Amino acid sequence: MASLSEFELPFIIIDDGSDSKTKRALSELSSHDNITLVTLSENQGKGGAVMAGMYQAQKLYFSHVIQIDADGQHDVQALPALLESSKTNPLHLISGKPIYDESIPKARLYGRYATHIWVWIETLSFSIKDSMCGLRAYPVSSTISVLDKYSVGKRMDFDIEILVRMYWEGVVIEFVETRVIYPEGGVSHFDALWDNLKISWMHTRLFFGMLPRVPKLLARNRKIGIKKGK
């Protein structure tokens, strides 16, 4: 929170079924005027927490939401570029494009590219440069429309699925580079077995969901190609 205070933005913090010690710390934070605390009685997973924050942002009449993970992996100095891109193109979804250092585990790096390949197949496009970065600027209205229309995964599959479905709905997705580090001794909530199973099932659903959309996706990609050609 301290590293983000310089940006003078309102914050929505999600208590995703935290323990009593964390609840006390979050309660103290929420005493600040620019902080809204949303408490979930049971753990919903990363996606469920982001969705809860998104619906709260809608209630507060926010136009955009910046998603940033609480694990400290993302360089907050990328925020100015993210905010500027979102202001310039308010209807676009702006995502971080990670620049990794030597701290990233090789298994994580290769695993990410396996998912990227599936996303390129599901969108019939290379437009999505990265599908797993947790630093994003979402336009609230179009994001809520997608969440209301589809049943999107509530755990680690969320970041990937929401990007694909918003692309399917015609939302333009842009990227800004951001440094990402994996701190020594950092805590990961990624469950290698269950989260990978959920992601595999998600890709299966998205692949078959892509098939009836092939004509529409090809037409969109052709249109994008013509614009770039100009």
**Does domain 63-229 bear CATH number 3.90.550.10?**
yes
Report the alpha-carbon distance of residue 56 to residue 47 in Å, rounded: 14
Judge contact between 200 and 161, C-beta under 8 A: no
pLDDT tens-digit map of 135-183? 999 999 999 999 999 999 999 899 999 999 999 999 999 999 998 877 6
The reported pLDDT for the residue numbered 189 is 60
Pairing of strands 93-100, 136-139: antiparallel
The reported pLDDT for the residue numbered 7 is 81
More confident site: 136 or 227: 136
pLDDT tens-digit map of 20-42? 898 898 888 888 888 999 999 89
- The neighbouring-strand residues paired with 138 are 65
Report the alpha-carbon distance of residue 137 to residue 195 in Å, rounded: 24
Structure tokens at 68: 């940033």
pLDDT tens-digit map of 185-217? 555 566 667 778 999 999 999 999 999 999 999
pLDDT band at 6 (very low <50, low <70, confident <90, very high): confident
Judge contact between 153 and 202, C-beta under 8 A: yes
